[in-house]
Amino acid sequence: MKKKLPLFVLLAVLLLAIVLYGAGCFARPPQAAENEVLLKIRLDLKEDIGLLVIDHRVDGKEGSGGISNADKSMLRRDDVLYWSFEKDPGDAAETAEVTVRFTVVTEYADPNYDNIYPEETMIPLEPLSFTSPYGEIVSLRIEGDRINGYRAVLE
């Protein structure tokens, strides 16, 4: 029995390490590819929100999208979210001129390509502009609440 105990402990520790690795406990945060600007968006809110709509202009080209949870749950008030902008293939630019405007959707709604949600749940933020080298992570924070308003700031 004494010979089997160390083997059992070793197997238990190995199994625990595999479970923790599979659960993402050792996962590295996303890294920016050399052809993209990666936004690291830290929510610093007083309440959870339904969705985050992202309208952007990168080097003169406009686009729109958003972030929501696939399981239809609210985005937690202290979540860290990631969003990236890729440069066009063949573009030799080393930096990106970015303007981003976030809209907080306060209640969950099914995402749609037109970003049309009940008007009473949509709170647009002031646009944020910056220049960033491709291959970099730009950290920003969205703070505030429904009553006093929200704002996005570079960190």
pLDDT digits (tens, 9 = 90+) for 69-93: 999 999 999 999 999 999 888 888 8
| Share of residues in the chain with pLDDT > 90 (%) | 66
For the residues 6-23, what does the mean pLDDT come to? 61
* Residue indicated by tokens 């969205």: 142
Task: Assess whether pLDDT exceeds 90 at residue 30.
Answer: no
Tell me the pLDDT band of 21, cut-offs 50, 70 and 90: low
pLDDT digits (tens, 9 = 90+) for 93-127: 899 999 999 999 999 999 998 889 999 999 999 99
Query: What gap in Å lies between CA 9 and CA 5, rounded to an integer?
Result: 6
Task: Assess whether pLDDT exceeds 70 at residue 6.
Answer: no
Please report the pLDDT score of residue 48 as a whole number: 98
Please report the pLDDT score of residue 26 as a whole number: 59
What CATH number should be reported for the domain whose range is 32-154?
Answer: 2.60.40
Which is nearest to 123 in space by CA: 41, 51, 69? 51
What pairs with residue 41 in β-bridges? 81, 140
Who contacts 73 (Cβ-Cβ below 8 Å, separation ≥6)? 108
